[in-house]
């Protein structure tokens, strides 16, 4: 029985390396997988899923107009699994399409992404996955203080900020994974407000 999975974590938690490990395991057993990544994230080139340590794989790209169910249904050779990187950039409609791939095409789908943005708000795709995924798993990383990092704090010229658009593509120069307490301290949160 196929399932829709959402594996989330803060930046630097190893989401992408886990995705590539799963893809490798399928391929090692002679099974095809289809990889997707967000078109908007072209830091390492369009259609590239790349880990922070430099391991990469080619992928199909998705944007707001991608119809996953239609595209996968019309392929002649159905994959054994579909892996989606940067799943926070999915729309709710696309998450439902991916659940249709699971339910009607009987193909497991594993989505990897951030749960929330730098202001602690759900991304559309992440919120939808939290609502309807069959299985939700957190991939953990730690804050400098030793607690579990759950927030991607945005940095502008190395200084924490809580202002700006929800989406700003960047790496260690733009974000730092921190725990909630450190996030509040570093962004000068006033308790009780």
CATH topology of domain 4-140: Rossmann fold (3.40.50)
Q: How far apart are CA 76 and CA 40, in angstroms?
A: 28
Cα separation values, 19 from 34, 39, 63, 126, 192, Å: 11, 17, 19, 16, 39
Q: Which residues are catalytic?
A: 86
N-terminal to C-terminal alpha carbon distance within the chain: 47
pLDDT at residue 163, rounded to an integer:
72
Q: Would the pTM of this model clear 0.75, i.e. be above it?
A: yes
pLDDT at residue 28, rounded to an integer:
96
Domain boundaries, given as residue ranges, for the chain: 4-140
Question: How many CA atoms, within 13 angstroms, populate the side-chain half-sphere of residue 129?
Answer: 32
pLDDT at residue 73, rounded to an integer:
96
SS3 content of the chain, % helix, strand, coil (to 5): 25, 25, 45
Kindly list the averaged pLDDT for each block of 10 residues, start to end, along the chain of length 193.
93 91 97 94 79 89 97 95 96 98 98 90 94 96 93 79 63 78 82 65
pLDDT at residue 192, rounded to an integer:
61
């Amino acid at each position: 029985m196929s399932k829709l999975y959402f594996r989330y974590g803060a930046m630097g938690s190893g989401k992408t390396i886990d995705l590539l490990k799963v893809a490798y395991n399928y391929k090692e057993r002679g099974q095809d997988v289809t990889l997707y990544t967000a078109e908007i994230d072209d830091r390492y080139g369009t259609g590239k899923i790349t880990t922070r340590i430099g391991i990469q794989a080619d992928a199909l790209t998705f944007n707001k107009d991608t119809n996953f169910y239609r595209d996968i249904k019309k392929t002649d050779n159905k994959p054994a699994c579909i892996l989606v990187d940067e799943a926070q950039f999915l729309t709710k409609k696309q998450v439902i399409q991916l659940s249709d791939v699971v339910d009607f095409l009987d193909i497991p789908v594993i989505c990897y992404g951030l749960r929330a943005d730098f202001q602690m708000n759900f991304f559309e795709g992440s919120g939808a996955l939290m609502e309807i995924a069959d299985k939700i798993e957190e991939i953990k990383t730690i804050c400098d203080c030793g607690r579990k990092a759950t927030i991607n704090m945005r940095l502008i010229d190395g200084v924490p900020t809580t202002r700006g658009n929800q989406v700003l593509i960047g790496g260690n120069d733009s974000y730092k994974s921190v725990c909630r307490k450190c996030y509040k301290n570093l962004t000068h949160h006033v308790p009780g407000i």
